[in-house]
Amino acid sequence: MAMTGVLRPGHAQVRVLNLEESVRFYRDVLGLVETGRDVQGRVYFKCWDERDHASYVIREADSAGLDFFAFKVLDKATLDKLDADLQAYGLKTERIPAGEMLATGERVRFELPSGHVMELYAEKTAVGNGLGVVNPAPWGPQREHGIGPVRLDHALLYGPNVAEVQKIFTEVLGFYLVERVLTPDGENNAAIWLSCSHKVHDIAFAEYPEKGKLHHCSFLMETWEQVLRAGDIMSMNKVAVDIGPTRHGVTRGCTIYAWDPSGNRFETFMGGYQPYPDNTEPLTWTFDNFGQGLDYPQRKLHETFLTVVT
Ligand code: M3P
Ligand code: FE
């Protein structure tokens, strides 16, 4: 399919309670590649098969959670257009100068009615995946270090005003609704899964009274075998596992949810299906089937899914 406008999730900046403990976790257990540290003390990581400089950035703070989540857009003209479109829609935007994050161009920052800070950017230095671009091997040693996901895939965010968030993503940013869970009265959406590509989701939101909460950032594995291997590595390292390995009914993704040392949930997953933007009829789950949406084999609406966020 043609890919214009917003391309994909670009980076998440996440707060952790202890920087060095978290570096060891993200580098050696999750198996991300450390790509830099900046004067603010932030540590930058990428997944082994990502070419851009960084997709996951951590900083030490007193509370865990998400600082911001960013999408990469096609080019500078697209960035300027989307900035103008967001303003015309009535959102306030802010320009963060190039270089404020390592290897990253100018960013357009705005806050959603859910309280989440979002960013768009067009430029980030490509550092490659270590395999070269001429006659490359299909994978190298970085894939074998720790869990070794291939990319930052999506995030699920919790906050209020999900209906307004949906409008911004679909009417301004060019996303489409792939799946949703209805509220118990069937009148509204309790949770939405949105795509800007042919991935089953690039971002998802669930209605929650508190603003700006992180449910999870998700990392893509190549196979179900690799998801099971991720579970083995989590147990070997005494990582706190939340749910899985299992399969979501929603998106059909095969998943493990677990927590980093600060309590930020992350997901290792694979699978799902590939929708296209002419998918005009989103898959819809009634609230009484939420448990199957979350954990299809067990048909269980795990309490932690609804209540534990950072
Ligand atoms: C996902 C995901 C529920 C959850 C689905 C989750 C409640 O699709 O990627 O985390 O259906
Ligand atoms: Fe997920």
pLDDT in tens, 30-46: 999 999 999 999 999 99
Count the helices and strands in the chain (H runs, E runs). 7, 17
- Between the CA of 248 and the centroid of ligand 2 the distance, in Å, is 9
Which atom of ligand 1 has the smallest separation from the CA of 193? 8
Contact 118, 86 (CB under 8 A): no
Q: Which atom of ligand 1 is nearest to the CA of 293?
A: 11
- Tokens standing for residue 162: 């999900």
Question: What pLDDT sits at residue 157?
Answer: 98
Q: Is 302 a catalytic residue?
A: no
Say if CB 34 and CB 46 are below 8 A apart. Answer: no
Alpha-carbon gap, residue 276 to 148, rounded angstroms: 28
Atom 9 of ligand 1, nearest CA residue: 253
What are the boundaries of each domain within the chain? 6-144, 151-307
53 catalytic per annotation: no
Listed as ranges, residues in the chain with pLDDT below 70 are 1
pLDDT value for 113: 98
Q: Which residues sit opposite 14 in a β-bridge?
A: 58, 66
Task: Quote the tokens at residue 138.
Answer: 């299909």
- Please give the distance, rounded to the nearest whole angstrom, from the Cα atom of residue 155 to the centre of ligand 2: 6
Residue 222 confidence (pLDDT): 97
As assigned by CATH, the class of the 151-307 domain is alpha beta
The string of pLDDT tens digits covering residues 103-161 is 999 999 999 999 999 999 999 999 999 999 999 999 999 999 999 999 999 999 999 99
Beta-strand (E) ranges in the chain?
6-16, 33-37, 43-46, 56-60, 65-73, 93-96, 107-111, 117-121, 151-159, 176-182, 189-195, 203-207, 213-220, 240-247, 253-259, 265-271, 283-285
| C-alpha of residue 36 to centroid of ligand 2, in Å | 26
Question: What local confidence, expressed as pLDDT, does residue 224 receive?
Answer: 98
pLDDT score for 104: 98
- CA-nearest residue for atom 10, ligand 1, is 156
106 CA to centre of ligand 1 in angstroms: 32
Domain 6-144 shares a fold with domain 151-307: yes
Residues in the chain: 310
Residue range 6-144 in CATH 3.40.50.920? no
Name which residue sits closest to atom 3 of ligand 1, judged by CA.
294
Residue 1: per-residue pLDDT: 62
Neighbours of 103 (CB within 10 A): 18
- Out of 34, 89, 216, 225, the active site residue is 216
- List Cβ neighbours of 109 (8 Å cut-off, separation of 6 or more): 68, 93, 94, 95, 96, 117, 118, 119
> Taking CB atoms and a 6 Å cutoff, what residues make up the pocket around ligand 1?
156, 218, 248, 250-251, 253, 267, 290, 293-294
Which two tokens mark 209?
Answer: 């009274």
